[in-house]
């Protein structure tokens, strides 16, 4: 079994290496503004560019502020405050990837080095899924398949090879879950509090997604025991004081906000957006555009207040659910139907009252509800439903649970393999090409302007392959002259599917005649 | 309490008897506590919406209040003013307090019955869940889901009929459930009484009557055969159907046609025909779209998560073999509003616009509110059933509710304020208030079209000549210069009765000048030289 883990880890590293997006070189802000790095390259969307711009400012100029050239690169997702250009994103992702940037820079591949850090977090997530699954009594090989399902058969794959926050957020959530399941010590609680606080500076809504973990940790702070007619409650003060370790990451966060945004409590998203940077380096602010439009339409002045609360509207839940689960442009059904086995596993786990199922349902529930209430459930231009990556991680646990329970049923395993293969094929497509898929609503508007069909599903990625485009670093640097993008995709997908098939066969063989108690 | 210095731990000891005592007190006194809490919530919410002016935002709320007011204060007061547009019970109840100007203009005369119904429904949900064997926690959650729903809270603060209907229907279904359980005649009579009341509030109650008859027939026939079924059904229908009989009789006596309410000029049918000719009655003869429209309305009123959890709870409930099949069958009555609304939409007897499905407009979306108690009951059941997840489910409900409250997300308010159910008539009513209040003379207006203006003007009802004032209306539309100092109408709109009556009247054209042209109505004033011929006091029938 030990060798199997090592082989599986090597397999994952290999696939990630073949998929990671990038171009050789250490780009300067001038280089970054070229389309080969932006739209046609690895920094194709503004969330990547905004975070990369802050990373560049941190690593190269030791500041939080962007030069006009760097701001131009990050626009339209760049803030402008007190005469300075600043990031509009929560800062920690950029801080975390600094070592990768510096290491990559040494080998003339700064951008690839930065992206590799996210890939490493994605690999950690696979390891955590396996570890949590085993702690929940799931068969170890099913646990591995669960990890594989998460990384290669869900949109998590497309976001493991670029610079987004999702894998770091998922890592924090899974670490919290693992610590709760595995330990009950002062140190484990301290680590959970640190993670809770750190998660906010990775992505603000993480505060709410970590809430179930925090509440359970709070429950662990007090030790209750019932004896006959007496309830004794012990409150170890060190456990209570452990909560205050949250102050450390929070202090970092407040310090960053103060230095970058001018006030400790002023979040990056609250700063005025600069849509463009003019040739003379001055900003064209979003407010100016709206004001000009208002004056042209002779409308009364309006005050738009940006607040965290107003970004989550309960009325949007119906549309949000449709978007995340059913819609052709982002839905789970279209991009990762293998997660349906996870939902089936979840129902089974609830029915059998699996330990910690409440915690896992709470994490999924908070994630799904929050991002269904979000005013942009599509995640802008994206591949699949990127906001549900933490949910995919937890559902992968239940995929493993489902497999463990149904290991005897060949037809079920065959069906699983078929759906898994489809999901792998779709998500590998996204990983090695692009995440630039508009939501249906925008695609329709674009089509009206461009007078041509604008695909909004993964067919857009198929079109890229048809045009021999893949953004994989290895393909671009070493393979493009020898094989087509289609061949590259086919080989990589086949490799993942074959390994999945081997794992399933091994699972079937190992579990034959043996029932694994879950 | 003791402190262990070695481990830095505080040790507290509690006697668990206190918890079981609290539990038993809650078991015994929950109904009382719920009554107290819901009363407080109800009053606070009414005051909140009264203070911000939203309490009478619905046009229909203002019309309901005006109808009741006309019974007691009008040029021709009396019960005939109850009319035929709406069923009479809410207006009859309002007449008890509507004579008071504050009760009329604050909307409290109409809201008070909604508030009582709100409290009663909350308590009924608690009792309903208790009968189904749901534990204390689930019962409280069921009540909370209903009582803290923002749309319910808003509607219980207004003079609309939804809460009263919800209250009487829930009471009827509860008694029906109890009859299925106990088979006592007392329960059947009580069920009949509540169904009778609901049939006098809205036509949803008529459907409940049919549904209840079906359930009673099935239950009795299965157990006792045809003869007993016939007897039980006659007993039930005699009481429960008496309100419908009275309504037909009323229409025959007052309007000389028992079906006047259904096919008269102000009936829903007449309104729907107008909408159909305008091509906006999309749900008619389109069952999938009717179902989709009503489900959307339910989701927007109850909240998506509540609807989802309620739906799951419902499936688990009907599959639960621990609950007697009789009770499960009886509980299908909770679905009566669902079936009724879909059938009404499909047949074109009802109209409902949901933003996104029917352009960018809301209209009558509040019909979805009828399913909130049903969903609350099933959510309570779900929380009880999924014990291992109960705190998680409550946490998720809390998460959504917090954002819902912080963002003041109530679709019923949007329907009233920016949807087709609400019109901003403040300019016309303010003009009347500023220019007519201190002067003598009547105002000629169509109540059917402009009740909201009458209400918002703050003038006494007897200052208005409208369709319900009989001879005054006939005289004023024939010789407006003798009776009306001001005329409010929508120029060029044939659906406005006043315009229809005056459009070819030479006296109107000669003697009046248009003093204001406003979005919802124009105001005409009698030229000063004709004022001397004007009647300014009620003289007919004195």
Residue A340 neighbours by CB distance under 10 Å: 18
Contacts of B10 in chain A (CB under 8 A): 234-235, 237
**Residues of chain A falling short of pLDDT 50:** none
Contacts of B386 in chain A (CB under 8 A): 350
Rounded to whole angstroms, the Cα distance separating B226 from B240 reads: 20
**Closest chain B CA to residue A322:** B304
Span B40-58, pLDDT tens digits: 999 999 999 999 999 999 9
- At B205 the pLDDT is 97
Q: Which two tokens stand for residue B432?
A: 């009347």
- At A515 the pLDDT is 62
**Closest chain A CA to residue B393:** A362
- Model confidence at B11, pLDDT cuts 50, 70, 90, reads confident
**Closest chain A CA to residue B391:** A358
Please state, in angstroms and as integers, the Cα–Cα distance from residue A237 to each residue in A225, A245, B10, following that order: 17, 13, 7
- Using DSSP, state whether B514 is helix, strand or coil: strand
- At B267 the pLDDT is 84
- Model confidence at B386, pLDDT cuts 50, 70, 90, reads very high
- At B421 the pLDDT is 63
- Using DSSP, state whether A227 is helix, strand or coil: strand
A186 touching B (Cβ < 8 Å)? no
Q: Do B396 and A365 touch (CB under 8 A)?
A: yes
Q: Single out the residue of A294, A293, A295, A271 nearest to residue A283, CA to CA.
A: A271
Radius of gyration of chain A (CA): 24
Rounded to whole angstroms, the Cα distance separating B328 from B335 reads: 12
Q: Do A232 and B389 touch (CB under 8 A)?
A: no
- The number of angstroms, rounded, from the C-alpha of B6 to the middle of its chain's C-alpha atoms is 65
The mean pLDDT value for B229-248 works out to 96
Shortest distance, CA B402 to any CA of chain A (angstroms): 9
Shortest distance, CA A400 to any CA of chain B (angstroms): 21
Q: Round the average pLDDT of chain B to a whole number and report it.
A: 93
Res. B542: pLDDT tops 60: no
Shortest distance, CA B162 to any CA of chain A (angstroms): 21
Shortest distance, CA B3 to any CA of chain A (angstroms): 9
Contacts of B399 in chain A (CB under 8 A): 208, 365-366, 369-370
E strands, A239-289, in order: 273-277, 283-285
Res. B424: pLDDT tops 80: no
Mean pLDDT lowest among A156-170, A241-255, B72-86, B238-252: B72-86
Model pTM score: 0.92
What value, to the nearest 5°, has the Cα angle with vertex A391 and ends A385 and A396? 110
The mean pLDDT value for B427-442 works out to 91
Q: Which two tokens stand for residue A169?
A: 């957020």
Sequence-separated (6 or more) residues with CB below 8 Å from residue B214? none
Of A215, A313, A361, the CB nearest to B409: A313
Sequence-separated (6 or more) residues with CB below 8 Å from residue B117? B156, B163, B164, B166, B167, B168
Task: State residue B84 phi and psi, 5-degree precision.
Answer: -130, 0
Rounded to whole angstroms, the Cα distance separating B454 from B465 reads: 11
Residues of B within an 8 Å Cβ radius of A:
7-17, 19, 296, 299-300, 303-305, 356, 386, 388-389, 391-392, 395-396, 399-401, 403-404, 406-407, 409, 411
Sequence-separated (6 or more) residues with CB below 8 Å from residue A471? A21, A22, A41, A42, A44, A432, A433, A434
CA dihedral defined by A44, A45, A51, A52, rounded to 10 degrees?
10
**Closest chain B CA to residue A317:** B304
Res. B276: pLDDT tops 90: no
Rounded to whole angstroms, the Cα distance separating B42 from B47 reads: 9
CA dihedral defined by A481, A485, A488, A493, rounded to 10 degrees?
170
Q: Single out the residue of A428, A469, A491 nearest to residue A152, CA to CA.
A: A428
- At A33 the pLDDT is 96
Chain A residues 290-329 with CB within 8 Å of chain B: 309-310, 312-315, 317-319, 321
A260, A84 contact by CB (below 8 A): no
What value, to the nearest 5°, has the Cα angle with vertex B463 and ends B459 and B464? 105
**Closest chain A CA to residue B308:** A318
Span B126-149, pLDDT tens digits: 999 999 999 999 999 999 999 999
Counting one residue from chain A and one from chain B, the pairs whose CB atoms sit within 8 A come to 101
Span B402-415, pLDDT tens digits: 999 999 999 999 99
Q: Do A314 and B303 touch (CB under 8 A)?
A: yes
- At B54 the pLDDT is 93
HSE-CB at A207 with a 13 A cutoff on CA atoms is 12
- At A302 the pLDDT is 67
Mean pLDDT lowest among A159-173, A359-373, B64-78, B424-438: B424-438
**The pairing of beta strand B464-465 with beta strand A78-81:** unpaired
- At B5 the pLDDT is 80
Q: Which residues pair with B465 in a beta bridge?
A: B444
Mean pLDDT lowest among A56-70, B76-90, B92-106, B157-171: B76-90
Name the DSSP class of B348: T
Q: Do B392 and A370 touch (CB under 8 A)?
A: no
Name the DSSP class of B365: G
- At A196 the pLDDT is 97
**The pairing of beta strand B464-465 with beta strand B442-445:** parallel
């Amino acid at each position: 079994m030990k060798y199997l883990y090592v082989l599986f880890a090597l397999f994952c590293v290999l696939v990630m290496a073949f998929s990671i997006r990038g171009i050789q070189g250490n780009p300067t802000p001038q280089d970054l503004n070229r389309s080969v790095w932006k739209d046609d390259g690895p920094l194709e969307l503004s969330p990547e560019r905004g975070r990369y711009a802050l990373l560049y400012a941190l690593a190269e100029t030791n500041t939080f502020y962007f030069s006009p050239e760097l701001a131009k690169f990050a626009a339209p997702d760049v803030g402008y405050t007190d005469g300075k250009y600043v990031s509009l994103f929560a800062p920690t992702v950029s801080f975390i990837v600094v070592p990768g940037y510096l290491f990559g820079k040494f080998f003339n591949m700064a951008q690839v080095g930065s992206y590799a850090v996210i890939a490493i977090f994605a690999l950690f997530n696979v390891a955590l899924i396996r570890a949590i699954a085993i702690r929940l009594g799931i068969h170890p090989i099913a646990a591995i398949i669960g990890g594989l399902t998460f990384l290669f058969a869900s949109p998590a794959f497309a976001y493991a090879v670029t610079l987004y926050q999702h894998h770091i957020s998922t890592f924090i959530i899974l670490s919290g879950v693992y610590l709760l399941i595995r330990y009950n010590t002062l140190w484990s609680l301290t680590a959970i509090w640190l993670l809770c606080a750190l998660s906010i500076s990775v992505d603000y809504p993480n505060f709410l997604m970590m809430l179930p973990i925090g509440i359970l940790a709070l429950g662990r702070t007090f030790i209750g025991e019932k004896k006959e007619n007496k309830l004794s409650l012990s409150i170890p003060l060190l456990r209570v004081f452990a909560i205050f370790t949250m102050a450390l990451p929070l202090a970092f966060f407040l310090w960053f906000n103060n230095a970058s945004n001018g006030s400790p409590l002023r979040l990056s998203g609250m700063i005025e957006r600069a849509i463009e940077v003019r040739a003379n380096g001055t900003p064209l602010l979003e407010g100016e555009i709206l004001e000009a439009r208002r004056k042209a339409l002779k409308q009364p002045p309006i005050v738009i207040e940006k607040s965290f609360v107003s970004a989550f509207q309960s009325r949007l839940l119906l549309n949000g659910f449709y978007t995340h689960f059913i819609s052709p442009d982002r839905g789970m059904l279209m991009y990762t139907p293998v997660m349906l086995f996870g939902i089936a596993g979840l129902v089974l786990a609830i029915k059998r009252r699996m330990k910690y199922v409440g915690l896992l349902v709470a994490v999924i529930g908070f994630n799904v509800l929050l991002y269904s209430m979000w005013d942009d459930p599509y995640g802008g231009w994206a591949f699949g439903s990127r906001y549900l990556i933490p949910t995919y991680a937890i559902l992968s646990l239940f995929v493993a649970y489902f497999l463990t329970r149904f290991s005897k049923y060949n037809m079920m395993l065959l069906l699983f393999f078929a759906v898994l293969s489809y999901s792998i094929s779709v998500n590998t497509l996204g990983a090695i090409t692009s995440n630039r898929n508009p939501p249906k609503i925008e695609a329709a508007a674009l089509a009206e302007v461009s007078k041509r069909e604008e695909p909004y599903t993964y067919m857009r990625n198929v079109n890229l392959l048809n045009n021999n485009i893949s953004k994989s670093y290895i393909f671009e640097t070493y393979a493009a002259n020898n094989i087509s993008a289609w061949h590259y995709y086919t080989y990589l997908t086949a490799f993942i599917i074959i390994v999945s098939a081997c794992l399933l066969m091994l699972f079937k063989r190992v579990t034959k005649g043996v029932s694994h108690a879950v | 309490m003791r402190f262990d210095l070695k481990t830095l731990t505080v040790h507290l000891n509690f006697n668990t008897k206190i918890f079981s005592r609290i539990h038993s007190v809650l078991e015994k006194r929950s109904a009382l506590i719920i009554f107290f809490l819901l009363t407080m919530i109800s009053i606070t919410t009414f005051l909140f919406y009264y203070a911000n002016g939203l309490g009478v935002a619905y046009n229909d709320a203002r019309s309901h209040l005006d109808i009741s007011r006309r019974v007691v204060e009008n040029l021709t007061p009396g019960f005939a003013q109850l009319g035929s547009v709406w069923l009479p019970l809410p207006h009859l109840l309002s007449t008890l307090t509507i004579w008071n100007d504050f009760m009329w203009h604050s909307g409290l005369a109409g809201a008070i019955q909604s508030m009582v119904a709100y409290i009663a429904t909350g308590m009924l949900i608690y009792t309903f869940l208790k009968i189904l064997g749901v534990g204390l926690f689930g019962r409280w959650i069921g009540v909370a889901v209903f009582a803290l729903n923002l749309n319910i809270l808003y509607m219980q603060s207004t003079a609309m009929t939804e809460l009263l209907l919800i209250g009487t229907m829930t009471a009827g279904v509860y008694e029906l459930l109890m009859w299925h359980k106990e088979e006592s005649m007392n329960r059947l009579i009580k069920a009949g009484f509540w169904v009778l009341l609901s049939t006098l509030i809205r036509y949803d109650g008529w459907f409940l009557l049919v549904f209840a008859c079906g359930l009673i027939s099935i239950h009795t026939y299965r157990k006792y055969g045809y003869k007993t079924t016939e007897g039980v059904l006659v007993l039930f229908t005699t009481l429960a159907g008496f309100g419908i009989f009275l309504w037909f009789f009323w229409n025959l006596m007052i309007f000389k046609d028992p079906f006047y309410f259904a096919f008269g000029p102000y009936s829903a049918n007449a309104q729907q025909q107008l909408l159909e000719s305008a091509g906006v009655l999309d749900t008619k003869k389109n069952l999938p779209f009717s179902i989709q429209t009503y489900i959307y309305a339910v989701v927007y009123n109850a909240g998506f998560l509540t609807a989802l959890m309620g739906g799951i709870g419902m499936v688990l409930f009907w599959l639960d073999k621990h609950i007697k099949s009789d009770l499960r069958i009886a509980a299908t009555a909770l679905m009566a509003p669902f079936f009724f609304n879909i059938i009404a939409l499909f047949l074109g007897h009802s109209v409902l616009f949901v933003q996104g499905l029917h352009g960018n407009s809301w209209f009558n979306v509040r019909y979805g509110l009828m399913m909130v108690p049903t969903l609350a009951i099933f959510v309570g059941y779900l929380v009880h059933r999924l014990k291992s997840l109960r705190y998680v489910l409550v946490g998720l409900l809390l998460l959504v509710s917090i954002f819902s409250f912080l963002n003041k997300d109530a679709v019923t308010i949007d329907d009233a304020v920016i949807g087709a159910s609400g019109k901003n008539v403040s300019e016309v009513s303010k003009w009347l208030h500023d220019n007519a209040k201190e002067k003598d003379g009547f105002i000629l207006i169509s109540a059917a079209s402009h009740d909201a203006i009458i209400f918002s003007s703050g003038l006494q009802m007897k200052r208005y000549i409208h369709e319900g004032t009989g001879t005054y209306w006939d005289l004023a539309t024939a010789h407006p210069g003798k009776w009306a100092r001001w005329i409010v109408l929508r120029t060029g709109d044939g659906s406005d009765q006043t315009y229809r009556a005056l459009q070819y009247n030479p006296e109107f054209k000669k003697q009046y000048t248009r003093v204001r042209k406003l979005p919802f109505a124009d105001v005409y004033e009698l030229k000063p030289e004709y004022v001397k011929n004007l009647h300014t006091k009620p003289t007919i029938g004195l």
